[in-house]
Structure formats: C-alpha cells, structure tokens
C-alpha cells in the first residue's frame, strides 16, 4: 500500500524551476541492500527510506529501473564475491514499484551470476552482465524473454556501461584487468583493452568520449579513449578507486574511495582530483541525479546513502537504508 501512495504523492509534487537552471529531477532512488536481500525505495525530498521490498533471492547487488519508472530489475547474483566461492545466481527479479512486490522473474536456466543491468537508450532492451557465461545477456523487459547475448571474450565481466546512442557497451573484466568493447547492434565483441592487473567498475563521460575504470592494485583511475579504444591517461587517486559517475554537464567525475572513506571530485578538463569529501565507511557506488545537482553514494559498511550537493561540494545528509547498501538506480516519475 505504501508504494502506491508514494508513487501518487511523488507524481503530484510540484517542482519550482530555480532561476537560471532546470527543475530538479522528479523521481526516487532505488538501493540494492546485499545484507538482507532487499530493495529500498528512497524518498529523496523527505530523505527517508520510504519502502522496502523483499527480493526473494540471494543476493541482488545492482538494480535498474525501467524507463517509465514503473518497474525495477534486480539480478540475483549469488552468495559469493567476484571469482570467489558461493552460489551461482540464475534469476532476475522484476519489482512493481507501485505495488512494492515482485511480479516477474527472468530465469537463465542455470547459474550465470547475473550482475549489472542497464537499459539500452536506443532499443529499450535490458542488457545484463552474465559473468559465468562471459557475456552480456539481452532481455526483452516487456515479455521477460532472453533474446540473445553478446560475448565479452573474458571471464568476470562484472559491470557494464552503454553509450548514450545505444551503439556501444563497455564491460569491466575484474580479474583479467581488462575492458571489453561491444557492438550492441551487431551483438559482437569489438576489442579488449588491457588496463590493470585487477580492474573494477566502469563509467562513461557525458559525451561518451572517455571510459573510466579503477585499478585495484594502484592508486589510480584508468582513462580510455573511446575513439581509439586505448588507454589515454591515468589519474592519481588518494585511495583505491571504485564506483564512478560523470555529471551531465561534462565537467566532473565523482569517484568512490572505499578504503579511505571518501569520494573524490575529478576535474575532467585537467584529469585530476581537485576535492575530496569524507563519508561513512566503504563508499561503493555513485549515481548522479539526472539534473546533475546531486550525487548519491552508497556506503555499504554503514547501510547509508550519502547525499552530496555537487555544486557546492558538501555532504547534505545521510539516509539510512538496508545493511550492506550497494547498487543504485533512479526511477523517474512521468
């Protein structure tokens, strides 16, 4: 019942457009909590966890909302970490965000460790990394049919980023320390780019000119030139990097630094860290609100979401969610 009232209430909010700027994004935040296998719905205006949904599987790490904001897709990865012992998940759970309940399931038929879901902006299909198949699965989000897959050419293809035109995909391959470049239309591997001994996470700049992944053995962020598919730069960091996200204006990249309990602000004009901000322990994933004004960072050791004012580079508030908060998604309101 609460989800229904939440959706109706949010849809009815009026957002005043500030002078000289766009209206704040209308929507709410989704959080995958690995500690209790739940999905949190966060009211961003009130700054509270407004609803919790039991996913019905162990364990959902990441989440993506459908473009219409009505459903969430949570791949059930399994009980282990990347390359570690544990169960091998085979399902994706589909959550109705107005009813707050699981209403559908995608079943791969065998253990795949599905992990990172991303909607294609061009075709509206759902792309999900399937680690044990060394591939990215393609799913029809309306019928929940598995349409095919794209080989990544590598094991441990963990995270996925897709260009704004929907033509290219990039996976971070953890233990090989590489990035796979995929042709989504032709459904084939273009190339693999060696970047580090171990790599984590992947994101793109606002203009898709650069891809970013974090070296897990050195204090640096790797920058890939997406025109040449080569490593073009290395950005020194004050700690090991993890999740990253770029602001829509193309100026900044925010990077989580879990071991030192901070996030860093990278100036993309100079490719250097210009500010840091202390957060609760183990910041993981970064999501920039569509209007670019606010960044949300999951802090898994504290079960909190840090809300950062990007323009003034300050911590606005902390929102308590579930234990081991990790993956983030944005559900827009139409």
Structure tokens at 72: 């969430």
- Residue 143's pLDDT is what? 98
Residue at 15 is within a domain: no
pLDDT of residue 308: 98
pLDDT of residue 16: 35
Domain assignment present for residue 113? The answer is yes
Beta bridge partners of 106: 92
- The domain tally of the chain equals 1
**334 residues of the chain, pLDDT tens digit each:** 346 444 444 443 333 333 444 567 889 999 999 999 999 999 999 999 999 999 999 999 999 999 999 999 999 999 999 999 999 999 999 999 999 999 999 999 999 999 999 999 999 999 999 999 999 999 999 999 999 999 999 999 999 999 999 999 999 999 999 999 999 999 999 999 999 999 999 999 999 999 999 999 999 999 999 999 999 999 999 999 999 999 999 999 999 999 999 999 999 999 999 999 999 999 999 999 999 999 999 999 999 999 999 999 999 999 999 999 999 999 998 7
Exposed/middle/buried for 303, CB within 10 Å: 0-12, 13-18, 19+?
buried
Task: Please check whether residue 92 is in contact with residue 73, taking contact to mean a CB–CB distance below 8 angstroms.
Answer: yes
Q: Count of CB atoms within 10 A of residue 153's CB?
A: 20
Query: Does a structural domain hold residue 128?
Result: yes
Position 46 in a domain: yes
- Say if residues 260 and 239 touch (Cβ distance below 8 Å): yes
Residue 267 forms part of a structural domain = no
pLDDT of residue 5: 43
pTM of the predicted model as reported, rounded to 2 decimal places? 0.94
Query: What are the φ/ψ torsions at residue 198 (nearest 5 degrees)?
Result: -135, 135
pLDDT given for residue 333 in this prediction? 85
Identify whether 282 is part of a domain: no
In DSSP terms, 283 is beta-bridged to: 299
- 3: which DSSP letter? H
- pLDDT (0 to 100) of residue 11: 40
* Sign of the four-CA dihedral 88, 92, 97, 99: negative
Is 78 inside any structural domain?
yes
Q: Give the domain CATH number at 97.
A: 2.130.10.10
Is residue 77 one of the residues assigned to a domain? yes
Range of the domain at 170: 26-243
């Amino acid at each position: 019942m609460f989800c229904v009232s939440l959706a109706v209430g949010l849809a009815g909010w009026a957002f005043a457009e500030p002078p000289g700027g766009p209206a704040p994004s209308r929507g709410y935040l989704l959080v995958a909590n690995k500690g209790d296998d739940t999905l949190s719905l966060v009211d961003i205006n009130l700054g509270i966890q407004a609803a919790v949904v039991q996913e019905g599987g162990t364990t959902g790490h990441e989440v993506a909302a459908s473009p219409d904001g009505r459903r969430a897709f949570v791949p059930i990865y399994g009980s282990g970490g990347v390359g570690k012992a544990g169960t091998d998940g085979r399902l994706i759970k589909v959550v109705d965000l107005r009813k707050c309940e699981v209403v559908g399931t995608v079943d791969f038929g065998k253990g795949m460790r599905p992990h990172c879901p991303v909607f294609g902006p061009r075709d509206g299909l759902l792309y999900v990394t399937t680690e044990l198949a060394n591939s990215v699965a393609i799913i029809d989000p309306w019928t929940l049919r598995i349409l095919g897959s794209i080989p990544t050419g590598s094991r441990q293809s963990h995270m996925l980023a897709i260009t704004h035109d929907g033509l290219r995909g990039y996976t971070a391959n953890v233990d090989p320390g590489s990035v796979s470049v995929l042709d989504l239309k032709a459904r084939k591997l273009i190339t693999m780019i060696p970047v580090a001994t171990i790599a984590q996470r992947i994101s793109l700049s606002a203009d898709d000119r650069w891809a970013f992944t974090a070296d897990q053995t050195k204090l640096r962020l790797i920058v890939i030139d997406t025109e040449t598919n080569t490593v073009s730069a290395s950005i020194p960091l004050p700690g090991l990097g993890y999740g990253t996200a770029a602001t829509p204006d193309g100026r900044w990249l925010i990077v989580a630094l879990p071991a030192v309990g901070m996030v860093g602000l990278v100036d993309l004009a100079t490719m250097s860290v210009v500010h840091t901000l202390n957060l609760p322990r183990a910041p993981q994933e970064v999501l920039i609100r569509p209007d670019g004004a606010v960044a949300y960072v999951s802090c898994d050791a504290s079960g909190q979401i840090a809300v950062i004012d990007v323009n003034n580079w300050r911590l606005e508030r902390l929102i308590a969610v579930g234990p081991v908060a990790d993956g983030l998604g944005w559900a827009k309101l139409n």
